[in-house]
Structure 1
Amino acid sequence: MVSRHAFEAVDRTFRDILKNTEHCSGDRVFGGKLFVLGGDFRQILPVVPRGRREQTVEASLPKSTIWKHCQVLHLTRNMRVTSQDISNHTRHELRDFAEWIKLVGEGKIMESSFSEGYEPNWIRIPEKFVIKNGERDLHQLIDATYPDFINKYQDMSYLKE
């Protein structure tokens, strides 16, 4: 969610700091230091106050001059779906949700707008993926995110998953 300008400022700072050091160079991105970034550029865009879609996309890291020096690695296995500790029903639900998220990221879910004349920038979340508001809404969210947390909160392997 950080603007490309922040990364470019960090790049310039590292180049300045490291330009006269033995193993680094002011001519290399981030002064030759390795930076590891995580995220999904299709889903987590930078925040541009009152910005339109074009301004938000223009502020994203892939629009930076640094981007051509980046190596993008893709995660290919959904670890939750492959877990042996879940029921077939839960596995099916997780696969459905993962497929829907993928379609959202690829722009294949129909958008709508709430006001006439505005660009469509809203999507409808299918009812089966919505955790309902109610007196237990926070507990339902925790239960959906961390099944059986109350019994496994001290199990390090569970927490690492």
Structure 2
Amino acid sequence: MAHKRAMEALNRTLKDLRFGGAMILLSADFRQTLPIIPRSTADNEINACLKLSNLWRYVKKLHLTINTRAALLNDISAEDFSEQLLTIGNGQVPVDESSGLISFPQNFCKFVSSKDELINKVVPNIITDQKNNEWLSERAILMRKNNDVDDPNYIIQNDIIGALHSYKSIDCVTNEDDATS
């Protein structure tokens, strides 16, 4: 998610170049993604959101009504899961007053009690199926933070036979002058 000031600057630039406004198509789920501001507070991230910009009053919101991926696959469980996520995202699930938490429906997902059980559910046959790209493409362990998934990844990688390769991504520049030159 871009900082609201970036969108405001783009708006001013387009007005200067075109002597008026231009239509911009944004695609996002504003319930999920906030701008990331290093070493900031949650308030700073919320205040940087486009919804708090003076441009928000000009935004026309369109809502998707069909989960195309679930519809194309004819997967009833994927369609149910999609509907449950929308119900949660739209705030239509009751919140427990004492804890502030919601209760998931019984068929929402498969809960596990340990990392080992999670690994066994997601990649039960990693030793025999590690070369099966289609099988691997249907599996993922998602967690809030990358360092939370490091331990399960390490356990799974130790079961794989053969040479391992790590591909690193870069989330920031080491020298800020390089980013602007």
Same fold by TM-score greater than 0.5 = yes
Deviations 1:63-98 (A, max 9, x none): 111111111110011223333x53xxx31x212321
TM-score w.r.t. the length of structure 2 is 0.51
Contact 1:4 1:59 in 2 (8 A): yes
Which residue is equivalent to 1:158?
A: none
Q: Aligned partners of 2:123 and 2:35: how far apart in 1?
A: 28
Structure 2 counterpart SS, 1:95: helix
Q: Which residue of 2 aligns with 1:9?
A: 9
Gaps of 5+ in 1: 20-24, 26-31, 112-119, 146-161
Deviations 1:17-61 (A, max 9, x none): 223xxxxx2xxxxxx211111011011221122333322221111
Correspondence 1:132 to 2:122:
yes
| Alpha-carbon spacing, 1:49–1:36, altered in 2? closer, same or farther (3 Å) | same
Amino acid at match of 2:122: K
CA distance in 2, matches of 1:60, 1:141: 36
Question: For residue 152 of structure 2, what is the aligned residue in structure 1?
Answer: none
Please give the TM-score of this superposition, normalised by the length of structure 1.
0.57
Q: Distance in 2 between matches of 1:53 and 1:142?
A: 34
Gapped regions of structure 2 (runs ≥ 5): 112-117, 141-181
Matched, 1:48 2:30: no
For 2:138, which of 119, 143, 150 is the aligned residue?
A: 143
Paired residues of 2:37 and 2:45 also in contact (CA < 8 A): yes
CA contact (8 A) 2:15 2:22 kept: no
